[in-house]
């Protein structure tokens, strides 16, 4: 496999862009080697600057749930472009997408559009603080909520990969209002609450975390959080930037049957354009300016092109229940195949899986939280990643990520992935 053009692009990029990339995990630092520069993408494949093609298992970190360059989304964008790219004034499409989101996502009665998942979570915390009149909030170790200051504490994914979970530039003053708890541990939450009685505005978590690798909630865990938050008047926020519109039409909250007070959304919601959103109970969302006192704004929020792409995506997902059955079937087949090759070589590595998300961890420990996730052998992961890449399968370049499947994966492609997987295991482990 030749990657000369990617190599020289990356060399030049490093002269002008910090680390050569516009988002850290793209730099391949956790897996070694040079990042691949992408030229185009279509369906289940992406194509790099040197003309190599790869089967996609990240899909732009989640958004491309129907595969790349879907004709229906492309058409919606081109049509919207005819009328201009931005107005800075309300449009009918914003009303339509807001109504659709409230229909699809159980917790959302009112919603505000923003430009990224980061903006969504930053804003949701501000609103929860304004609503409760309290300052502190609880976040889970290894969960990622974008790069807002108050979230960059044990933040999973890119932060783990870079080896500096607490970023310089985040002040102690900011960090002291962020309380940390391990995921899947209700007792730890009770302890934090009794030590900070009446001071906690919100509890934010990824209901099904994907930013320390995929981890599933233990039975009763999400229900337990719901009960505790009700009892203490704490705003329960599900960060569904990853899981929203992916684990079900209504996200993890629909799939697991636990309804939070607020929800943050991103990724799939923009159909590949930069979009995020936060929403929730009417009485909470009425605190957002100009309805209420909590200020939050955006020059390009609700951008007409972005809304056209997002609306096309959400309408399709809303009107096609088979999409989720199909995604579950694809995920099921792939994970079954991976498990059978593990069995064949008597490897008891851990694999976490739900619907169209999965992570393979190179440890035999059960992965239930950040501490256990860190037990995975990241050096072996790096070798496995490179071996898969050589065989034309594009994984997330870090152990601490979930993979995201799309409906574009045919049985034939799944077979190809499984063959590459088995060969890559052999190569990575020297079997
Ligand atoms: C990706 C992600 C974010 C941040 O979204 P950006 O659009 O990258 O700012 C926040 N929360 C979760 C759970 C995410 O996966």
Crossing angle for the helix pair 304-319 and 92-104, nearest 10 degrees? 30
Distances (CA, A) of 108 to 147, 170, 209, 272: 24, 31, 20, 22
Q: Is 143 in the same domain as 259?
A: yes
Is residue 103 among the annotated active site residues? no
What is the structure's pLDDT at 154? 72
Is residue 249 among the annotated active site residues? no
Which of the following is catalytic: 267, 278, 384, 394? 267
Q: Is 217 in the same domain as 342?
A: no
CATH code, 395: 3.90.1150.10
DSSP labels for 78-137?
HHHHTT-S--SS--HHHHHHHHHHHHHSTT-SEEEEESSHHHHHHHHHHHHHHHHT--EE
Q: Is 425 in the same domain as 358?
A: yes
The reported pTM is 0.97
Query: In terms of residue numbers, what domain contains 65?
Result: 4-69+321-429
Beta carbon of 144 within 6 Å of any ligand 1 atom: yes
- Please tell me the distance from the alpha carbon of residue 254 to that of residue 245, in angstroms, as a whole number: 10
What is the structure's pLDDT at 308? 98
Q: Is 242 in the same domain as 297?
A: yes
Write out the chain's pLDDT in tens, 431 residues.
899 999 999 999 999 999 999 999 999 999 999 999 999 999 999 999 999 999 999 999 999 999 999 999 999 999 999 999 999 999 999 999 999 999 999 999 999 999 999 999 999 999 999 999 999 999 999 999 999 999 988 766 555 444 344 688 888 888 889 999 999 999 999 999 999 999 999 999 999 999 999 999 999 999 999 999 999 999 999 999 999 999 999 999 999 999 999 999 999 999 999 999 999 999 999 999 999 999 999 999 999 999 999 999 999 999 998 999 999 999 999 999 999 999 999 999 999 999 999 999 999 999 999 999 999 999 999 999 999 999 999 999 999 999 999 999 999 999 999 999 999 999 999 99
Is residue 12 among the annotated active site residues? no
Q: Is 279 in the same domain as 414?
A: no
Strands (DSSP E) contained in 198-261 are: 200-205, 235-239
Beta carbon of 276 within 6 Å of any ligand 1 atom: yes
Q: Is 289 in the same domain as 194?
A: yes
What is the structure's pLDDT at 386? 97
Q: Is 93 in the same domain as 176?
A: yes
Dmax of the chain from CA atoms? 63
Q: Is 183 in the same domain as 147?
A: yes
Which of the following is catalytic: 54, 183, 239, 374? 239
Q: Is 47 in the same domain as 78?
A: no
Q: What are phi and psi of 192, to 5 degrees?
A: -60, -40
Q: Is 91 in the same domain as 192?
A: yes
What is the structure's pLDDT at 279? 98
- Structural domains in the chain (count): 2
**Residue whose tokens read 């914003």:** 94
3-state secondary structure of 84: coil
Q: How remote is the CA of residue 278 from the centroid of ligand 1, in Å?
A: 12
Beta carbon of 402 within 6 Å of any ligand 1 atom: no
Q: How remote is the CA of residue 56 from the centroid of ligand 1, in Å?
A: 19
- Please tell me the distance from the alpha carbon of residue 123 to that of residue 68, in angstroms, as a whole number: 30
CATH code, 204: 3.40.640.10
Q: Is 31 in the same domain as 136?
A: no
What is the structure's pLDDT at 97? 98
């Amino acid at each position: 496999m030749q990657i000369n053009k990617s190599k020289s692009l990356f060399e030049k990029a490093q002269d002008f862009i910090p680390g050569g990339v516009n988002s850290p995990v793209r730099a391949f630092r956790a897996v070694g080697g040079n990042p691949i520069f992408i030229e185009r993408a279509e369906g289940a494949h992406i194509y790099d600057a040197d003309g190599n093609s790869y089967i996609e298992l990240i899909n732009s970190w989640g958004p491309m749930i129907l595969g790349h360059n879907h004709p229906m989304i492309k058409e919606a964008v081109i049509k919207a472009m005819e009328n201009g790219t931005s107005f800075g004034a309300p449009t009918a499409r914003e009303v339509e997408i807001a109504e659709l989101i409230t229909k699809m996502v159980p917790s959302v009665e009112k919603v505000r559009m923003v430009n990224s998942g980061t903006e969504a979570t930053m804003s949701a915390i501000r609103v929860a603080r304004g609503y409760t009149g309290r300052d502190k909030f609880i976040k889970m170790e290894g969960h990622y909520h974008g790069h807002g200051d108050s979230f960059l504490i044990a933040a999973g994914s890119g932060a783990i990969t870079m080896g500096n979970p607490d970023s310089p530039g985040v002040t102690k003053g900011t960090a002291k209002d962020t309380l940390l708890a391990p995921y899947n541990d209700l007792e730890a939450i009770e302890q934090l609450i009794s030590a900070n009685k009446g001071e906690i505005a919100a509890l934010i978590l990824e209901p099904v975390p994907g930013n320390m690798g995929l981890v599933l909630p233990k039975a009763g865990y999400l229900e337990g959080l719901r009960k505790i938050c009700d009892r203490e008047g704490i705003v329960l926020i599900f960060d569904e930037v990853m899981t929203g519109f992916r684990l079900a039409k209504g996200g993890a909250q629909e799939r697991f049957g636990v309804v939070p007070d607020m929800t943050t959304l991103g990724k799939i919601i923009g159909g590949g354009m930069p979009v995020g959103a936060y929403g929730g109970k009417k009485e909470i969302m009425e605190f957002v300016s100009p309805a209420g006192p909590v200020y939050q704004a955006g020059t390009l929020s609700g951008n007409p092109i972005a809304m056209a792409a997002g609306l096309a995506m959400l309408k399709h997902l809303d009107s096609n229940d088979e999409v989720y059955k199909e995604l579950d079937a694809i995920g099921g087949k792939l994970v079954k195949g991976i498990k059978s090759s593990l069995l064949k070589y008597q490897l008891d590595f851990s694999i976490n899986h739900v619907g169209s998300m999965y992570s393979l961890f190179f440890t035999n420990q059960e992965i239930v939280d950040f501490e256990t996730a860190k037990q995975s052998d990241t050096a072996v992961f790096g070798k496995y990643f490179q071996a898969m890449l050589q065989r034309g399968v594009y994984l997330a370049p870090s152990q601490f990520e979930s993979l995201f499947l799309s409906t574009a994966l045919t049985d034939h492609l799944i077979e190809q992935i499984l063959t590459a997987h088995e060969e890559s295991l052999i190569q990575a482990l020297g079997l």
